[in-house]
Structure 1
């Protein structure tokens, strides 16, 4: 194996690019967005994933950029505080532990910087066709010229094009969890000071927390609803869909909906898991959300991406890049870890998983097996 194409420049794709480049592989990363995607929620690096960041030389950097929450308030539908905690938050769990919460965009930027100039990143393009044989994979792109690679890795998220082209329609593999999330940024018009607010009324609610030294807010809307019909992918359609479902909420909802309409880093999707019998097909393999999305409700998507990248790179190195043996090793090692972490999202519908369950799941793999 000399050349690998990775589809997706998120956490999984950039981490794998850095690890494969370290092992002497010529890596190309193709990303549909025009650059690294901004915004997004704060993400957690927990358990074994912390060991991965340490082995990659990133632990001190991510630790220096961790969020600094002092606690949270839980509000009723009118914004009155009904509970508070200075020991735990809904976004990161118990504050007094070694886990690290930081902004997704910061983590991706660190991984991208570490990958170095020798990794080729192609932004503003995507894979449109795959044609593989015993010698390699011929890849067609929407804009660029066709190219051939020894292996193709789909690290392109829940709506993976690589999965669709190699395994079939998305609907075969996805399991809707009954919820939707929207995430966006705004100025800190609530003057929050390292403090989170969580409001829920019926089947809808939101979480708000400050970032960037309390100059910005990250706002998460959540509500129960059936998935949108296939093809509804336009941001303005999504914003209207979200606004319609949140409009009945009170307190600061009008100002939050105004911020939603103005946001330029808006993210929205159904909370969905991906379950597949296999993650590889010939010379193509899936990584992270593309193969085993646990959904943000698990709190473990980032850790699965980091650990998956490490285990896949390690399997390729151990097998001398014999892809069939490497992919089999990768699946054997990762599946028990994936299953425990996916279960976190469904253990306690409407609330976080038990702390003991999180502790067990986040450490349920050994990097040196």
Structure 2
């Protein structure tokens, strides 16, 4: 089949590899002009390792491990009060997200067509195929379209429902960026918390640098859609008056070249497919970063969808089997995500 995948982060390239292996003609379209170079460190747990092994990238992913040894717990004055074991934040294996996206892209780019700097803007389907319009390219027709384009999925908005109807905010937002290693962390994290506020710092390789996340309680995911200047303004406002290193980190935030902003949200849909269009990963069933399961869920979802498409000639049966298999796993991960947000004071 001729298949279009929207999104080139994790679920999209992983699914593209499986579909290409099974003989399909696959195109991946990505709104960003190039591979996204930011994002949290991400971790893998349980069956995700089997997917990485089948993809043929497990050794490369392991070679990119952050080597995190644990996380120091800090009181409001920055004094160490305890420690969390590495697996709480790092799972069984943790790597920078940019490392995983590069590995998956390099692993697939020879046989899968990638189009960067463009996006789907129209989808019309009937029994014979899906007619897709793009912001830049000429329209084209596909047998199937897959939305793997994240929590603010364009494919989901065009075919299923507006964002406001399916995204559930968990009461937590924050800014992320990298900066100087002010604490001298060595392959460790540090977590500072006061009611409604949290700072997480992680050294994952370069001894001079740390990744920082500045989190705060919030009442809407609409902050995600603001421009950077407004996101910085809100972050400063919500963390105003905080002690420890927070004033210094707020200054560092403005100078960061890898700034990004996100909220802890989940996606809840009654069904993950509509006709010849199907969703995978965060686009269909985001469990929130506080679950620690987003990347594993994306890989496992991509593998499940591809396996069922290979097993059934009828895409309707394949989509139904995919959803039936994955629903219990997703529901549990979303429960974990809600609990995680509550632990951060949301």
Normalized against structure 2, the TM-score is what?
A: 0.95
Higher deviation after alignment, 55-64 or 273-282: 55-64
- Counterparts of 1:1-369 in structure 2, within 5 Å, are 2-85=1-84, 87-88=85-86, 90-93=88-91, 99-227=92-220, 229=222, 232-320=225-313, 322-347=314-339, 349-351=341-343
**Structure-1 separation of matches of 2:323 and 2:87:** 33
**Structure-1 separation of matches of 2:87 and 2:324:** 34
User: 1:133-168: CA deviations, max 9, x gaps?
Assistant: 111111111111111111100001001110010012
**Structure-2 separation of matches of 1:191 and 1:262:** 20
**Structure-2 separation of matches of 1:196 and 1:230:** 26
User: 1:314-337: CA deviations, max 9, x gaps?
Assistant: 0111113x2111101110111011
**Structure-2 separation of matches of 1:144 and 1:346:** 40
**Structure-2 separation of matches of 1:168 and 1:84:** 43
**Structure-1 separation of matches of 2:204 and 2:330:** 30
CA contact (8 A) 2:291 2:340 kept: no
Q: State the aligned residue count.
A: 344
**Structure-1 separation of matches of 2:256 and 2:66:** 22
- Once the two structures are TM-superposed, the CA of residue 215 in structure 1 deviates from its matched residue by 3.4
1:89–1:80 Cα change, 3 Å: farther
**Structure-2 separation of matches of 1:77 and 1:307:** 39
**Structure-1 separation of matches of 2:208 and 2:27:** 36
CA contact (8 A) 1:89 1:196 kept: no
**Structure-2 separation of matches of 1:302 and 1:208:** 20
Query: Once superposed, what is the RMSD of the aligned Cα atoms?
Result: 1.6
Runs of at least 5 residues in structure 2 that lack an aligned partner in the other structure: none
Higher deviation after alignment, 12-21 or 211-220: 211-220
- Once the two structures are TM-superposed, the CA of residue 192 in structure 1 deviates from its matched residue by 1.7
Runs of at least 5 residues in structure 1 that lack an aligned partner in the other structure: 94-98, 353-369
**Structure-1 separation of matches of 2:165 and 2:210:** 37
CA contact (8 A) 1:72 1:89 kept: no
